[in-house]
């Protein structure tokens, strides 16, 4: 088997120069649009159950039909016998595209200077040609929220599809204003501040957040009254969160901070989404009662407290879902967003169940972002973000055979695969010549 | 508070010199499991009997001797305890960053058996970890191989005393940043790194020669020869030259890996393992031919520039080229699911179950020089075992029980929330730490030597 694979790759390498424009399975040069009929698969729709021996028709970037008997009329037929079609996975929180090499400051574009920079647009800084993007999509992740970090209001997050040559081509139709809810805890083991200093810093940040919010609210009211306002792009942007024009994506993690955040949003008209929520399981009932949806993760994480059960982080998503919280999963990742399916698998195993875990990386994220009618399931009329796999994509043994984004059939290659092809059977090998 | 614990750890470290460790040895019969032996295939519905810490018998229909507990593992999988070839778990201090060569430093002096992370690693089926010095120095300190006997409060009891000596080397960005850029001394480049190593070994050769001359002279009747001054640092380097210590070298780029292979060959050193080894795939034939292989991350990359040109197919390429390959954690979270990290080699390179499981059992055991004792389920080996619900390479699997020397240290059904061995009497409110991704400790305690941003502190592999 392994040998076969080597021969296949050797063949591929030898013919590649001859067929720069030709396309064969597994090595496409470019994403390709068209009319495709994905035939005879098990279709996991997410919203309408599992359909055996069914097909999915893709035209003009959309899913136009799902069912047993679909006419192939002019479509390129892709035989999916014995395979499974799932909707593309959505990662509800990343910095993908905003960074290339984390330790090289020149390539880090997710954190602007200052506490109050809501007008910083993630979409502007997304690099469509980041090497990490093709690395991500071959795992079945087709859409991610990319979020600025740093200050209290660090910027505006954007949902992007992982295909396109400009940020606008990638934009998937959802933006949110990110907020880092003032933290009462320690910032990891490098944080050597005293308890009192931490408390003071937290109070100061909360006061600052309140002042900024109130000011933004006034700004929105004055703008609505058509008052003449000074140029203040930060306020103009945050104002959109005070009126509900843009959702507020609040990063909040410890139980006490979650409670404080729930209290903080009570008298506000904001559309709130919680992100992170590492200790959500401690206050799951309260989050559910408030009806706040949650994008949680990374799932593969350490417990927040030494006294916690070892699997606290793995079980968190499931516990919140069981309490009635609408839960989506994120990696909070940069280069390794490709691990989203495995994070979902861990959540599934530690109490969430497979079905709910699938929702947490598809329809729940879509609905939380207000795009439930366009993404997150396989239904006619939705955007054609699809993956075809020979098994359960949450399992590492499973191979992903096709990825469609926005109706484009994506090349299943990336730099990591090309390195594999070049170096698996290196020539010259050990000796010179 | 921290100071006190360092002091305690130092005291406890001293006691290792005097205490002869008396570790618990257990007996248990595990029945009807699917036994993944690693070295002898998969045995369906088989039993494994451990007596006094040693695997006595593997077979079907085994009877428990008097007083030996039987565990029914029907429908479950039994595999050898997982071994992490690169960890900093259970260490109070990681780096002695004061000189490019600090071979005289020992990690066994800073072992902290109270770290709850050891329990969490057990809950992930990990029974042995290689507690390594950090990567600030070209030639770092000597590592300790730990057996996860959680509950022991004497550091000596969690050190695998019958494991061979190993030492940490480091190439590339970390030592050049700390020494060349951090304090303006050699090495600042990969050329300097090579020079530091060659200088060190040549000095050790002189040192060995001086001692050999002295020994010869002093054996003569009426000799008045004076011994050379004892130097722990040079003696350790001499021990490496004599093949008494295995080098475990932090490395990323192919050129630096190739450099160290050449240096090792020039000095007749054969006991060499590469750690991280992100670009190992580019020199896989050389690694396979001249070293004890590579211990790699399943998929970490791009967190710093020297790992930008990485591939998750690294482990597969190394394996296919015949290099002994292991998957390591270097991280307190990742160590909890090395079975899953190893499973990624099936997506990235189509490794078989046997190949993937070997990467977290017998292969790291070989690299640590303990494969005659652990790393597979064989009669006569130590009873380090883990029972999984579901195949260990499934993303959904959950470890159920973990044994070290036949003693059960983790049982999911008896797992209490709070597994700390001690609670600070002065801490009124427990600290809450939010996980912020990679948390490797390779560069812990060297933060002040970095010239750049705070972000780096989280990315110092």
Q: What is the pLDDT of residue B362?
A: 98
Q: In terms of CA atoms, which chain B residue is nearest residue A347?
A: B396
**Closest chain B C-alpha to A208 CA, distance in angstroms:** 22
Query: Is B372 in contact with B382 (CB distance < 8 Å)?
Result: no
Q: Is B447 a residue whose pLDDT tops 80? A: no
Any CB–CB contact under 8 A between B437 and chain A? yes
Q: What is the pLDDT of residue A285?
A: 98
Q: Is the pLDDT of residue B419 over 70?
A: yes
Q: Reduce the DSSP state of residue B35 to 3 states and report it.
A: strand
Shortest distance between the Cα of A400 and any Cα of chain B, in A, equals 9
Nearest to B434 among A132, A278, A300 (CB): A278
Tell me whether B309 touches chain A (CB under 8 Å). Answer: yes
User: Which domains occur in chain B, in start order?
Assistant: 23-81+375-427 (2.30.40.10), 82-369+437-453 (3.20.20.140)
Q: Could A102 and B303 be called an inter-chain contact, meaning their C-beta atoms sit closer than 8 Å?
A: yes
B337 closest CB neighbour out of A104, A108, A300: A300
Please list every residue in chain A whose beta carbon sits closer than 8 Å to the beta carbon of residue B414.
none
On whether the CB atoms of residues B278 and B299 are closer than 8 A, the answer is no
pLDDT for B431: 82
- The whole-angstrom separation of Cα A375 and Cα A31 is 20
Q: How confident is the model at residue B445 (pLDDT cuts 50, 70, 90)?
A: confident
| Sole residue written with tokens 């090289």 | A104
Task: Report yes or no: A278 at the B interface, CB cutoff 8 Å.
Answer: yes
CA B280 to chain centre: 18
Contact B431 A309 (CB under 8 A): no
Q: What is the pLDDT of residue B450?
A: 61
Judged by a CB distance cut-off of 8 A, whether residue A199 touches chain B is no
| A131, A278, A307 member nearest B417 (Cβ) | A307
Residues belonging to chain B:
461
Question: Would you call B413 an interface residue with chain A, using a CB distance cutoff of 8 Å?
Answer: no
User: Among A394-403, B61-70, B79-88, B421-430, which stretch is predicted with the lowest mean pLDDT?
Assistant: B421-430
Per-residue b or e along B425-437, where b marks 16 or more CB atoms closer than 10 Å to that residue's CB:
eeeeeeebbbbeb
Q: Return phi, psi of residue B328, to 5°.
A: -115, 175
CB contact under 8 A, A416 and B453: no
> DSSP label at B179?
I
Q: What is the pLDDT of residues B241-277, one digit of tens each?
A: 999 999 999 999 999 999 999 999 999 999 999 999 9
Which pair of tokens denotes residue A164?
């396109």
- The mean pLDDT of B387-407, rounded to a whole number, is 98
Higher-confidence residue: A20 or B94?
B94
**Closest by CA position to B332, among listed A299, A298, A303:** A303
CA–CA min distance A294, chain B (Å):
17
pLDDT of residue B122: 98
Residue-level pLDDT at A188: 62
Q: Express each pLDDT in B5-23 by its tens digit.
A: 555 555 554 444 444 457 9
Say if the Cβ atoms of A349 and B453 lie within 8 Å. Answer: no
Residue A408, token pair as written in the block = 């484009």
Mean pLDDT rounded to a whole number for chain B: 92
Residue A21, pLDDT score: 45
**What is the model's pLDDT at position B440?**
65
What three-state secondary structure class fits A327?
strand
| Adjacency order of strands within the sheet including B272-276 | B139-142, B165-170, B245-251, B272-276, B294-296, B325-327
**pLDDT per 10-residue tile (average), chain A, 433 residues:** 50 43 56 96 98 98 96 96 98 98 94 96 98 98 97 97 98 98 76 83 92 97 96 98 97 96 96 98 98 98 95 98 98 97 98 98 98 98 98 98 97 95 94 66
pLDDT of B455 reads 41
Do residues A129 and A155 lie in contact, with contact meaning Cβ atoms separated by under 8 Å?
no
- Pick from B131, B45, B123: nearest CA to B82: B123
Distance (Å, whole) CA A367 – CA A389: 24
Nearest Cα to Cα of residue A282 among B225, B102, B430: B430
Chain B, 85-144: which have a CB under 8 Å from a chain A CB? 116, 119-120, 123
- For residues A242 and B243, what is the distance between their CA atoms, to the nearest angstrom? 69
Q: Is A86 on the interface with B (CB under 8 A)?
A: no
Token digits for B131? 């507690």
Nearest to A261, CA basis, from A279, A274, A270, A271: A274
Q: How far apart are CA B332 and CA A147, in angstroms?
A: 26
Partners of A189 on chain B (C-beta within 8 Å) are 433
């Amino acid at each position: 088997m392994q040998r076969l694979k080597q021969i296949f790759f050797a063949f591929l390498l030898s013919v590649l120069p001859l067929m720069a424009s030709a396309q064969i399975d597994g090595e496409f040069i470019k994403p390709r649009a068209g009319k495709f009929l994905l035939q005879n698969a098990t279709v996991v729709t997410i919203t309408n159950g599992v359909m055996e021996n069914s097909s999915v028709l893709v035209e003009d970037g959309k899913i136009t039909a799902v069912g047993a008997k679909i006419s192939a009329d002019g479509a390129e037929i892709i035989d999916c016998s014995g395979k499974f079609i799932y909707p593309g996975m959505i990662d509800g929180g990343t910095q993908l595209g905003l960074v290339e090499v984390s330790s090289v400051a020149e390539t880090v574009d997710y954190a602007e200077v200052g506490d109050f920079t809501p007008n910083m647009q993630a979409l502007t800084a997304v690099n469509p040609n980041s090497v990490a993007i093709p690395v991500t999509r071959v795992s079945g992740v087709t859409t991610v929220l990319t979020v600025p970090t740093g200050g209290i209001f660090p910027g505006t997050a954007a949902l992007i599809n992982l295909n396109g040559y400009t940020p606008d081509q990638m934009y998937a139709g959802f933006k949110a204003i990110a907020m880092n809810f003032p933290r009462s805890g320690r910032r990891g083991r490098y944080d050597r501040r005293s308890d009192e200093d931490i408390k003071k810093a937290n109070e100061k940040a909360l006061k600052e957040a309140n002042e900024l919010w109130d000011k933004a609210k006034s700004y929105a009211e004055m703008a609505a009254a058509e008052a003449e306002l000074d140029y203040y792009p930060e306020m103009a942007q945050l104002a959109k969160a005070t009126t509900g024009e843009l959702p507020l994506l609040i990063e909040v993690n410890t139980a006490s901070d979650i409670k404080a955040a729930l209290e903080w949003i009570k008298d506000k008209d904001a559309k709130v989404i919680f992100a992170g929520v590492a200790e959500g399981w401690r206050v799951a009932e309260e989050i559910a009662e408030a009806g706040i949806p949650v994008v949680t993760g990374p799932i593969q994480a350490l417990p927040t407290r030494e006294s916690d059960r070892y699997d606290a982080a793995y079980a968190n998503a499931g516990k919140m879902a069981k309490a009635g919280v609408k839960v989506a999963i994120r990696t909070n990742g940069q280069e390794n967003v490709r691990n989203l399916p495995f994070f979902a698998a861990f959540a599934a195993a530690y109490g969430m169940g497979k079905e709910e875990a699938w929702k947490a990386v598809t329809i729940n994220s879509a609905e939380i972002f207000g795009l439930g009618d366009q993404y997150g399931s396989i239904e006619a009329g939705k955007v054609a973000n699809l993956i075809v796999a020979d098994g359960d994509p949450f399992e590492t043994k499973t191979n992903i055979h096709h990825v469609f984004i926005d109706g484009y059939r994506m090349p299943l290659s990336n730099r990591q695969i090309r390195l594999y092809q070049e170096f698996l059977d290196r020539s010259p090998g050990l000796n010179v010549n | 508070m921290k100071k006190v614990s360092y002091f305690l750890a130092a005291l406890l470290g001293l006691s290792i010199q005097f205490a002869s460790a008396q570790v618990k040895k257990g007996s248990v019969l595990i029945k009807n499991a699917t036994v993944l032996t690693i070295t002898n295939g998969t045995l369906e519905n088989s039993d494994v009997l451990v007596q006094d810490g040693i695997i006595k018998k593997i077979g079907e229909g085994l009877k428990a001797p008097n007083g030996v507990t039987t565990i029914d593992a029907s429908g479950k999988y039994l595999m050898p305890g997982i071994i992490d070839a690169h960890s900093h778990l259970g260490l109070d201090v990681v780096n002695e960053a004061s000189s490019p060569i600090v071979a005289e430093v020992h990690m066994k002096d800073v072992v902290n058996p109270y770290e709850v992370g050891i329990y969490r690693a057990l809950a992930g089926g990990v029974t042995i970890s290689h507690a390594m010095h950090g990567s600030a120095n070209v030639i770092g300190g000597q590592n300790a191989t730990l057996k996860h006997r959680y509950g022991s409060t004497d550091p000596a009891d969690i050190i695998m005393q019958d494991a061979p000596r190993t030492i940490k080397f480091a190439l590339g960005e970390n030592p050049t940043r700390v020494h060349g850029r951090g304090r303006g001394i050699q090495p600042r480049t990969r050329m300097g790194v090579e020079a530091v190593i060659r200088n060190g070994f040549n000095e050790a050769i002189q040192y060995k020669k001086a001692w050999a001359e002295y020994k010869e002279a002093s054996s003569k009747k009426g000799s008045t020869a004076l011994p050379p001054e004892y130097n722990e640092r040079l003696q350790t380097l001499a021990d490496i030259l004599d093949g008494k210590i295995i080098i475990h070298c932090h490395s990323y780029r192919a050129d630096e890996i190739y450099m160290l292979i050449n240096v090792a060959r020039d000095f007749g050193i054969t006991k060499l393992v590469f750690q991280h080894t992100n670009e190992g795939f580019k020199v896989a034939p050389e690694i396979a031919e001249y070293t004890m292989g590579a211990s790699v991350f399943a998929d970490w990359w791009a967190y710093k520039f020297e790992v930008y040109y990485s591939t998750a197919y690294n482990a597969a390429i190394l394996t296919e080229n015949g290099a002994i390959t292991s998957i390591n954690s270097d991280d307190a979270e990742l160590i909890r699911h090395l079975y899953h990290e190893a499973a990624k080699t099936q997506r990235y390179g189509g490794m078989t179950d046997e190949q993937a499981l070997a990467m977290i059992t017998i292969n790291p055991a070989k690299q640590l020089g303990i494969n005659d004792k652990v790393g597979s389920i064989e009669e006569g080996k130590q009873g380090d075992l883990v029972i999984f619900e579901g195949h260990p390479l499934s993303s959904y699997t959950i470890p159920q029980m973990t044994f070290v020397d036949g003693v059960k240290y983790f049982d999911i059904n008896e797992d209490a929330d709070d597994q700390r061995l001690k609670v600070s009497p002065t801490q009124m409110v427990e600290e809450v730490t939010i996980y912020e991704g990679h948390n490797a400790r390779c560069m812990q305690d060297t933060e002040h030597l970095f010239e750049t941003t705070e972000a780096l502190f989280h990315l110092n592999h």
